[in-house]
Amino acid sequence: MPLFEVRGLTHFFGGLKAVSDFNLTFEGGELMGLIGPNGAGKTTIFNLVCGVYHPTHGEVRIEGRNLARRYPHQVTGMGIARTFQNIRLWPEMTVLDNIRIAHNTKLSYGFLDAIFQTSRYRREEKGIDRKSEEVLEIMGLRDYTEELAKNLPYGLQRKVEIARALVIRPKLLLLDEPSAGMNLGEKEALIGLIRWIRREFNLTIWLIEHEMRVVMNLCEGIQVLDFGEMIAHGRPEEIQSNPRVVEAYLGKEID
Amino acid sequence: MNKYSLTLLTFLFFVLVVGLSWAGMLSSYTQLILMFVGVNIMMSSSLNLVNGYMGEFSCGHAGFMAVGAYSTSLLTVWFFTTGSVFGPNLLAPAWAIALFPLILLFGGLIAALVGLLVAFPSFRTRGDYLAIITLAVNYIVKSAIENIQPIGGARGFMGMGRVVNGMKAVADIPWMMIWTWIFAFLTILLIKRFVSSTYGKGIIAIREDEIAAEIMGVNTRRAKMVAFMLSSGLAGFAGGLFAHILGYINPGSFGIMKSTEALVMVYLGGMGSLSGSVLSAVLFTLLLEILRPLQLYKWVVVPLILILLMLFRTEGLLGHRELTDVFPRLKRIFGSKEKVHAAL
C-alpha cells in the first residue's frame, strides 16, 4: 500500500477548471517538487489535499484512508502537515505557544479535564511541553522560545512554521514555496535544512517552489503544472530540457 | 510558596468582605455595590473570552444574562415560595441553602445552550456579520421574555427576595455576598484555566489566524462552540446572581444598554487580559455609582469615556497583558507556575 495517493483529482471554481485529473503516488521517503507558472493550480492542489476545499472529482488517500469530506484539522491528525506560501504563524503568541497549539490535533483530554486540571490533563500538557521544547531545540530555536512570533526575522519565522508542522510528527510534509521572500544565503540554508529534516524526521516531502535553484537542487522528481494540468514529470534534468515546460514558463518561440 | 499567595489574598478578601457584611459594618448600599462588582467581574471576564481571546465581536451579552436570571429565578421561586404563578412551594424554604448553587449552575447551563444560537452561525460567518447576529439574539431573548405573560412579561418578575429571606431565616449570614464572590472567583479561575490550556489556546489561535488554526489541527468549530457556551454560561451565572441580589428583574434591564456596559468594561480593561477585566469591572461599577447624582447625564459621560479610550488608548488599560506583565514586581508575589517554569 502506498503511503500517499492522489487519483484523478479534479476541481472546479464555478466554471473554471482549476485542477484537472491530477495523479500522484508516494511510496514513502520521496522528496518531490511541484512547479508551474503563477496560477497553475499548485496551491489549490495543496488545499484540496488538506481539506480546505473538497475536490469535485477524484480522491486522496493517506495510508489507504480516504480523505474525502474530512475537515482540515482531521487531515492534519492523519499525518499531513504543511506550511504556507505567506507565513501564517499566530503573530501575537510566543514561539512556544505556536508550537504547542499544533498538538490540538492529537489532544486526548477534553474541556472538563482542562477546567479541573485532571491528572490526564497535567500528564498530557507535560508531554506537549517536552515535545515542543524538543523540536525547538532540534531546530535551533531554543533562544526564541518566549519571543512573540511577529518579532522574529523572516527566515526564523519560516523555521518556526516548519517546526510547528514537524512537532506533530507528520508522515507527509507539504511545503508551499518555502523559499519565497528569502535572499540567496537564506535559500542555501533552507536547502540544507530541508535535506536535514527529511533524514532526521524520516519524512516524505512534497514541495511547491518557484525558485529553480531550490527545486533542481533538492527534488528527486518534479511535476510541472500549467492551467491545472500536469504537462510534464520526471527527474530535474529531464524537466529542465523539456520543451513543453520551457514553453509554459517562457512562451512559445515564433517561427 | 509564591503560587499560593494569590489564592491566600483572594481568600482574605473574601473573608473580609463577608465578615464585614455579616458584622453589619457595611451599609446595605455598600454591600449592594460590592455584589454588583462581583457580578460585573463575571460579565466582563466572560465577554472577554469571546471578544478578547477569540477576537469575535459579541455585543449581546446581556441576552445570556437574562436567560440565566430568568431560569434561576423561576426555579427558585417555584421551588421555595408560595405565589400566584406556581402555587404553593414544593420544598421547604430552608432547602434553598443547599440547592441555590445547583440551580445557579442549571441557569448557567440553560444560558450556555442559548449561546449555541450564536455559536452555530459563527461557523460560517464572522466579524461584523456575527456581531449583528449577537445583537439579534439579545433582542430575541428580551422580546421573548416580554411576551411571556405568565412570568410577568414586560412588567418583570419578582419573589426572589423571599427565597433569599428563606435562606436568611435559617442562618442570618450575607448569603448573596457569599455566592456572588464564590461564583466571581470561580469564573476567573475557569477562564484562567481554560485559556492557559493547549485546548483553550486554540481560540487565541483562531483570533490570530483562523485558517492556520484550522489547518494546523485546531478543531475550530468545536473551539468556537466551547468558547461561546462557556462565555454565555458564565453570563448566565451573573444573571442568576443579579436577579437574587435585587429580588426583582424585568426584561428592560437586559437590553442593549446592559450589553454595552459589558463591552465598555472589556475594552476599558483591555482585550484578552483577565486581570484587566477584573480591574475595569471594579472601576466601572464604582464610576457608575459616583456618577449616579448626574442621573441621565451619566449616559453621556460613560460613552464619552469610551470615545476617549478608543482615541487615546485603544488597547485598554492592559491590552493583551496581565497585571504581572505591567508590574513585573508582582510576579515575585503572584508568580504563576508557568512563569517560574519559563525562568528555569
Residues in chain A, overall count = 255
**Distance set, CA B265 to CA B261, B271, B278, B300 (Å):** 6, 10, 9, 16
Contact between chains at A52 and B208 (C-beta distance less than 8 A):
no
For residue A150, the 8-state DSSP code is G
| pTM of the predicted protein model | 0.91
Which amino acid is residue A62, in one-letter code? I
State the Cα–Cα distance between residues B141 and B63, nearest whole angstrom: 6
What pLDDT sits at residue B164?
Answer: 92
Q: Per the structure block, which three cell numbers stand in for B210?
A: 483562523
Which has the closest alpha carbon to A9: A71, A75, A66, A77?
A66
Kindly report, residue by residue over B27-41, the tens digit of the pLDDT. 989 999 999 999 999
Kindly report, residue by residue over B121-131, the tens digit of the pLDDT. 988 888 889 99
Kindly report, residue by residue over B264-306, the tens digit of the pLDDT. 899 888 888 899 999 999 999 999 888 888 878 887 887 888 7
State the Cα–Cα distance between residues B15 and B21, nearest whole angstrom: 10
A150 touches chain B (CB under 8 A): no
Contact between chains at B198 and A52 (C-beta distance less than 8 A):
no
The whole-angstrom distance between A90's CA and the closest CA on chain B is: 5
Residues of A in contact with B193 (CB under 8 A): 114-115, 117
Of B197, B202, B211, the CB nearest to A88: B211
What pLDDT sits at residue B342?
Answer: 35
Which H/E stretch holds residue B261? helix B256-269
Banded pLDDT at B338 (limits 50, 70, 90): very low
> Over the range B192-227, which residues count as b (16 or more CB within 10 Å of their CB) and which as e?
bbbbbbbbbbbbbbbbbbbebbbbbbbbbebbbbbb
The whole-angstrom distance between A46's CA and the closest CA on chain B is: 11
Q: Under DSSP, is residue A59 helix (H, G, I), strand (E, B) or coil?
A: strand
pLDDT (mean) for B228-252: 96
State the Cα–Cα distance between residues B230 and B187, nearest whole angstrom: 10
Contact between chains at A102 and B217 (C-beta distance less than 8 A):
yes
The label of the residue with cell 469564573 reads: B187
Q: Mean pLDDT for each 10-residue chunk of chain A (255 residues)?
A: 94 92 94 91 94 94 93 94 94 95 92 94 95 93 94 92 94 93 88 93 92 87 92 90 84 71
Contact between chains at A104 and B200 (C-beta distance less than 8 A):
no
What pLDDT sits at residue B343?
Answer: 34
Residues of B in contact with A72 (CB under 8 A): 214-215
Interface mutation vs chain B, best among A109, A111, A131, A133, most B CBs within 10 Å: A111
Contact between chains at B212 and A52 (C-beta distance less than 8 A):
no
Banded pLDDT at B339 (limits 50, 70, 90): very low
Residues of A in contact with B221 (CB under 8 A): 71
Residues of B in contact with A147 (CB under 8 A): none
The whole-angstrom distance between B191's CA and the closest CA on chain A is: 8
Contact between chains at A114 and B217 (C-beta distance less than 8 A):
no
What pLDDT sits at residue B341?
Answer: 36
State the Cα–Cα distance between residues B66 and B108, nearest whole angstrom: 11
What average pLDDT does the structure give for chain B? 89
